[in-house]
Structure 1
Amino acid sequence: MALPALIVPDYSSTHTDHNLTEAWAVVSGEIARTDGKSSLLLAFTGAVLAGLASLTGRPLPAVTQAFGAAGVLALAAASILLLLVVRPRLRGGGLESFPAWARMSEADIREALHGDLRAARIRILSLIAVRKFRHLQRAVDLILTALALLLLAAIGALL
């Protein structure tokens, strides 16, 4: 009985080229996802804050005011984090980033792009994506906290 042939992974430059291109597309897609989610959550927090603003000036029990104020602060903090997600960052990066290209001459750009910079771009985009996801994660945690506090405020107003 013959032994099956040993399958050896293909680590040729073609395989690496494909993987680098695919990784760049994945990271770019993740950044787009964070921006979309953040925009949706910004609209949500803005609507909730606008609704809560309509309640100002009404007499409310002290416990409702306390929980409501804490909820508003949590929503405001979440909004700040969400704004940081969608805020463009134009500093940093090396020759592989477009902010650096804006400061270069055409000849310098040609020289800088002479080699394969995909791995460097993937690294920078990954750092951006991780930072955006951390802000997004913290913002969602704050929104959930705010909703719990606002629920407690509503219960206090009913009692």
Structure 2
Amino acid sequence: MSTIEQNLTAAHAEVKAEIARTDSKTSLLLAFIGALLAGVWTVANDAHLPAPAYAVGGTGVALLVTAAALLLRAVRPNLGGARPMGFPLWATLSAEQIRATLAEDRREQDIANLSRIAVAKFANLRRAVDLTCVAGVLLLVAAGIAAGGAL
């Protein structure tokens, strides 16, 4: 196996690993946000809070819901649209066509496509983390208001 072949194989594996890592982080953060929203709902539903606490807390909840939407967008399957590659393409081909397609070395294009997918997933994850942090601060401020301390 030549150096270019080894490099292509390594790059392909690396991009796939980055997608898997981003999906794992995304699923963990989505579960955390779901638990946080359930907890906030439980507290806010049973307590009589001052209006400013509801306003600040409501903004925090809105940010959490936005973060969850970004995370769902990050894990949404991308089947390639009009020109699918890899698995989605195979579903449209006969056995002979699959054999012919796999005989061609398309790793360069696959690496480029997977890299774009990985970057888009990572950008959504980063935005969701930022929103979750801001929402957490707002929820802490709302808790402080509710406790009668802040503002």
Fold shared per TM-score above 0.5 = yes
Whether the 8 Å contact between 1:93 and 1:99 is mirrored in structure 2 is no
For structure 2, the residue ranges without an aligned partner over 5 or more in a row are none
Show CA shifts across 1:53-76 (max 9, x none): 112142111110001000000001
Determine the C-alpha separation between the residues in 2 that align with 1:100 and 1:71: 42
For structure 1, the residue ranges without an aligned partner over 5 or more in a row are 1-12
Indicate yes or no: 2:133 matched with 1:150: no
Secondary structure of 2:6's counterpart equals helix
Indicate yes or no: 2:33 matched with 1:50: no
Determine the C-alpha separation between the residues in 2 that align with 1:93 and 1:34: 25
- Which residue number in structure 1 is paired with residue 75 of structure 2? 86
TM-score calculated relative to the size of structure 2: 0.91
Q: CA deviation at 1:114?
A: 2.2
Q: Percent identity?
A: 49
Q: Whose helix fraction is larger, Structure 1's or Structure 2's?
A: 2
Moved more, 59-68 or 96-105: 96-105
- Aligned residue pairs total 147
Matches within 5 A, 1:3-82: 14-55=2-43, 56-82=45-71
Show CA shifts across 1:21-80 (max 9, x none): 000011000001011101110111011101011121421111100010000000011111
Show CA shifts across 1:87-121 (max 9, x none): 22223374742111111111222222222111111
Which has the greater radius of gyration? 1
